[in-house]
Structures are given as C-alpha cells and as structure tokens.
Amino acid sequence: MSLKIAIVGLPNVGKSTLFNALVKGSKAEAANYPFCTIEPNTGIVEVPDERLAPLGEISHSKKIIPAVVEFIDIAGLVRGASKGEGLGNKFLAHIRECDAIGMVVRFFEDGNVTHVENKIDPEADIATIETELQLADITTVDKRLFSIEKELKSGSAESKYAHSGLQKIKDKLYAGENAREADLDDSEQDALKGLNLMTQKPILYIANVSEEQLSNPATVIPAKAGIQDSPHRSPGTTLKNTAGPEDDNKKNDNFVPISAKIEAELNELTDSEKAEYLETLGIKNTGLNELIKEAYKTLGLITYFTSGEKETRAWTIRKGDTAPIAAGAIHTDFTKGFIAAEIVQWADFYAQGGWTGAKTHGLVRTEGKTYVVKDGDTIIFKFNN
C-alpha cells in the first residue's frame, strides 16, 4: 500500500524547509513570507529498514527495494482558511487525499523569521489549525447530511447507517472536537467510506525545534504535558495517539521533535559524519527516521518481505491483515487467487542462509487464508493465475 502524509501548518513554521530536508534534493521553496508554497510539493522517501540489506545479501538479490512514504508539502494554513482566508479551500483537497496529517508546529525562536500570529505559541497554533480543519469538515458533513436525509426515504440500510454516523460526527465537530473521536460502529464506518474528513485522519504532531531544544527535549515537552491543558487549546484537541482504541488513554505518543535546520545539515554529511554529529547531539536517529517510525505506529502499519535472487523488497500493510490481503499489496490478483503462503521470520531466514536452510531446519511454515501476517515475515505466496 502507498502511504501519503500531508505536511501542514501555519505559514513560516518551517514546513517547506522540513520538506526539503526530509526529501533530499527536493526543490520546495522556503522563504520568509506567507504562502511561498502555493501548489503542493510532493516527494518520495525510502523507509529506513536495517533488515533489508542482510536479506538481500543472503538471497544474492540483484535489487533491494525499500517501502516508501510520500510527503505532500501543503500551503500554509491561516485563521479563517475554512472561509477562504489565505489560499482558502485551494489546498484542503490535497489534505483529504492523504492517509495522515503531519502538523508542523513551530517551537524555535528566530527574530529573522516572522510568525504569522507575531508570537511563538505552539498551543495556539495547534488550536488554530485544528479549528480550521474542523470547520471545513462541518461544511462537508452538513452537505452530506442534507443529501442523505433524502436517501433515507428509500429505506436502505446503508443510508440509515450513514445518517447515524454523520450525526455522531456532527455532534463532535460542533463541540469543537475531531471526527476521529466519534464512536462509530463498523456499519457506520463502512457506510461513510470515501467521505475523507480531515479531522478523521490520524495525526502526527511535528515540533520544529532548535538544536538546543532537540538536545534537551525537556525544554520542548512541557509541551507534551502542557499542550493538552493549555487555555489556548480548543476542546477535544488533546495530543493523543490515534492508532486505535487500545491507545485512547495515551497522550502525546505521536509528538515528534525535529529540527528542520539540523535535518538539512545532516543531508550534507557522509554516513560516518552523520553518526558522529547525531552522537554529539545526544540522539540516536534522524528526525526523518523517527517521523516515519511514528507514522507506522500511529497508522498501525507493519512491514513484510519478499526475498530472492531477482529482488528483496519491503511491503507495507496494516497490522492485522491476513495473508490474502498482504498478497494484494503485490498485486490484486494475488488476493483473488490466493492458495497458501510459505512464511519464515526474517531473522531465521538470515541465520539459516535463505529459503533452503530455513526449510531444512523446519522454520518455514505453510499458512492459509486466515493467517495474520506479522512484522518481519518473509513470504512466498502461492496463487492461481
């Protein structure tokens, strides 16, 4: 599956600078004035995975193909955007097309870079952005409710579930909360597929920090505890993990501190220089790695592998997907014609020297349609043409 993340935020919070740093070699314009990004910039980034190279080495693969994430750099959002202020609804459609939202929030101080609200206030910035997204979603929901009320006369079950789901979402939005907080049952969710509400999408909060703040995260995250209780924040905009119901009580797990400036500097270094620089900062991974890791966690995604002489490749699926669904990540025909899957964990595959060794030691299992694929599974699918 493809993974698309919309990079959003107020003007001059460092969205395009961050985008350029994340997507090495990209040409997104970064300037000290609002709306320097008008049309969205798009960049493809490889998902770092230390398991790929060893698998490719064992299989003597001609190619190694990582999973990828697509970042979309959206124009700056301002107060009143839902009513046409700034670039208005011009960019909202681009957000709706993405799987998740990466909200860039400015924490760094720099007198040479103006802030659209003339103050550095992360809590207020988040409240402004979420409020505008909520207001835009209200317009969408109200229009859909108007049309669905006519369809109710047909007596179809789908229109009934769509109406009840929309009403739950409307109640949340009018209370200043997000659509993702509405308690929809499976039938209501199915009936509302394709609605693409922005506040229903998983969200990653990206703190654009200075070098000092990155080295001392405690200076940024009173924010982790403080944002959710700030008087600047609108109701229902607490920073909580949106991966699933089991995480509802976790706050701020998807809050990622990144220094766009440092990420840009890292792109100019060799791997050894990069590791040395990170060590001096007291951090283990680049901001890009942390962001992608958090995106997978928040969206409930995992990786499985295929590995042979032709190529070793990483495939992204949702946690809980069965083998036929996972096969569909390669080609939809694999799902339709699925027969079985030969599966071994990547570490066993590597330790035993590939498929032959793993089979010799009884580590390869044959699984059917109900098997739930695990992160790190290395798989050969059998299917009917």
Q: What is the CATH number of the domain that holds 369?
A: 3.10.20.30
Average pLDDT over residues 97-126: 80
In a domain, 271, yes or no: no
The pLDDT-based confidence of 239 (bands split at 50, 70, 90) is very low
| Number of separate domains in the chain | 1
* Residue 197 reports pLDDT greater than 70: yes
Any idea which of 108-122, 184-198, 367-381 has the lowest mean pLDDT? 108-122
pLDDT at position 80 over 80: no
Provide the CA 190 distance to its chain's centre, in angstroms.
Answer: 21
In a domain, 307, yes or no: no
354 within a domain of the structure (yes/no): yes
Tokens of 265: 């500097």
Question: Do 303 and 327 meet the contact criterion of CB atoms below 8 Å apart?
Answer: no
Could you tell me which residues are annotated as the binding site?
Answer: 12-17
Annotated binding site for ATP: 12-17
Q: Is residue 185 part of a domain?
A: no
Q: What is the mean pLDDT of residues 289-314?
A: 93
- Calculate the alpha carbon distances from 358 to 303, 339, 376 in Å: 20, 21, 15
Report if residue 376 sits inside a domain. Answer: yes
- The mean pLDDT of the chain is 81
Within a domain: 310:
no
Confidence of residue 357 (pLDDT cuts 50, 70, 90): very high
pLDDT (tens digit, 9 = 90+) per residue, 168-189? 999 999 999 999 999 999 999 9
What the block records as the tokens of 232 is: 């600047």
Query: What average pLDDT does the segment 8-21 reach?
Result: 83
In a domain, 364, yes or no: yes
For residue 225, name the pLDDT band (cuts at 50, 70, 90).
very low
User: Domain span at residue 377?
Assistant: 320-383
| DSSP letter for each residue of 162-220 | HHHHHHHHHHHHHTT--GGGS---HHHHHHTTT---GGGS-EEEEEE--HHHHH-GGGT
Give the pLDDT confidence of 120-162 residue by residue, as tens digits: 788 888 888 899 899 989 999 999 999 888 888 777 888 899 9
Assigned token pair, 152: 């109710």
- Strands laid side by side in the 203-208 sheet: 41-46, 68-73, 4-8, 100-106, 203-208, 255-258
- Nearest partner of 23 among 42, 2, 48, judged by Cα: 42
